[in-house]
Structure 1
Amino acid sequence: MEQPVEMTTLSQILEKLRQKGLDNEIKMTDHGKMQGTGLNKIYNPEDLTIIKTYRFEGDSDPADNSVLYLLEDKDGQIGYIMDAYGMYSSQENTGFDDFLKKIPTADRDLQELFK
């Protein structure tokens, strides 16, 4: 049986999502909602569930610290939100953190997704 390759970088995970057709980035709009760019859907926090969180730390520059949230919507579609840590957050909209805090979390084993 082939062992899954451990993914340790942001680019490895994003590439795997792309290969699986799951490269639906979800970004905050100017109107305080999240929009799935690949699926062209508008989301409220209750429409999404965070199913996995990946944190990446840069070797020397704190600006390289980032987080990737994998989400599933109510239709079973997978998407992701990317952000940097804390004061280096790349999200300019003030509602981003509040929106993220309202999304329920259900940490799941995603081995099937990344086979």
Structure 2
Amino acid sequence: MKQKFHYATITEAISQLKEQGFTLEFNLVGNEFKTEGQTYVADEFEIVDLYRYEGTSDPADESIVYALLSSSGVKGILVTSYGASTDESSAETIRQLHYKYQQSK
């Protein structure tokens, strides 16, 4: 899907996504999204939209907000630091989600 909106801040993006039903706040651990005592397999999700933010003083200070949807209808948000050091399995999961996102365009 093509990015539909650009929000000025990460907070604004998260607020608007929550209004659209993306209410869960995910943490990525390996190939799983964890939230509120629940665990979901990341392979069951696709990126619906994403928003990139770059720090004004440091280009390395970049974050990405992902709007995620599972095949069963679960909606959530994942916020990651771009290029941040993560374990290899989490980094591979993000790469796979990006690949599926690019293929859907």
Q: What's the TM-score once normalised by structure 2's chain length?
A: 0.73
Aligned counterparts of 2:39 and 2:22: Cα–Cα separation in 1: 14
Structure 1: 4+ residue segments shifted above 6 A: none
RMSD (Å) for aligned C-alpha atoms: 2.4
- In structure 2, the partner of 1:76 is 73
Q: Which has the larger radius of gyration?
A: 1
Could you tell me whether the CA contact under 8 Å between 2:25 and 2:78 is conserved in 1?
yes
Aligned counterparts of 1:55 and 1:20: Cα–Cα separation in 2: 19
The percent of aligned pairs where both chains have the same amino acid is 24
* Shift, 1:68, TM fit: 1.1
Q: What's the TM-score once normalised by structure 1's chain length?
A: 0.68
More helix by share: 2
- In structure 2, the partner of 1:112 is none
- In structure 2, the partner of 1:110 is none
- In structure 2, the partner of 1:24 is 24
More strand by share: 2
1:81 is paired with a residue whose SS is: strand
Could you say which structure has the greater relative contact order, defined with CA pairs below 8 angstroms and 6 or more residues apart?
Answer: 2
- In structure 2, the partner of 1:35 is 33
Could you tell me whether the CA contact under 8 Å between 1:48 and 1:72 is conserved in 2?
yes
